[in-house]
């Protein structure tokens, strides 16, 4: 398996623009997680899905953030409108069950100017 695949690898955008991050989990994994990593706050869980259903989105910072998982092989994290403080590395991760070994993608480095 190719592992968790994220795109794009890097994203540079201007404040106010819409940003869409994409994730393909490992085939057969039922749980998908979106994390954000910054120097100041470390790794923060934004939202996670079990069997394509959002279970906990309490980590989503504001209404500007939204996430979807239309099927078992694809998820998106959208920020609209983006702000400079959203600049971070966004990771997607998946696992067979939510409480088992977690596999991470390579992340998307987002810079909002």
- DSSP secondary structure letters along 51-105: TTEEEE-TT--STTEEEEEEETTEEEEEESS--GGG-EEEEEEEESSTTS--EE-
Per-residue mark of binding to other proteins, 55-84 (x: CB under 8 A): xx----------------------------
| Touching other proteins, residues 84-103 (CB under 8 A) | 91, 93, 98-103
Report how far residue 42's alpha carbon sits from residue 38's, in angstroms, rounded to the nearest whole number. Answer: 5
Size of the site for other proteins (CB under 8 A): 22
Give the shortest CB-22-to-other proteins separation in angstroms. Answer: 15
Give the shortest CB-97-to-other proteins separation in angstroms. Answer: 8
């Amino acid at each position: 398996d190719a592992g968790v695949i994220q795109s794009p690898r890097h994203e540079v955008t201007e404040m106010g623009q819409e940003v869409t991050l994409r994730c393909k989990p490992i085939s057969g994994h039922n749980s998908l997680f979106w994390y954000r990593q910054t120097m100041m706050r470390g790794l923060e869980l934004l939202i996670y899905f079990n069997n394509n259903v959002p279970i906990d989105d309490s980590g989503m910072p504001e209404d500007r953030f939204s996430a979807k998982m239309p099927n078992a092989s694809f998820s998106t994290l959208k920020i609209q409108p983006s702000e400079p403080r959203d600049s971070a590395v966004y990771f997607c991760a998946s696992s067979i069950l939510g409480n088992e070994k977690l596999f991470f993608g390579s992340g998307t480095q987002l810079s909002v100017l």
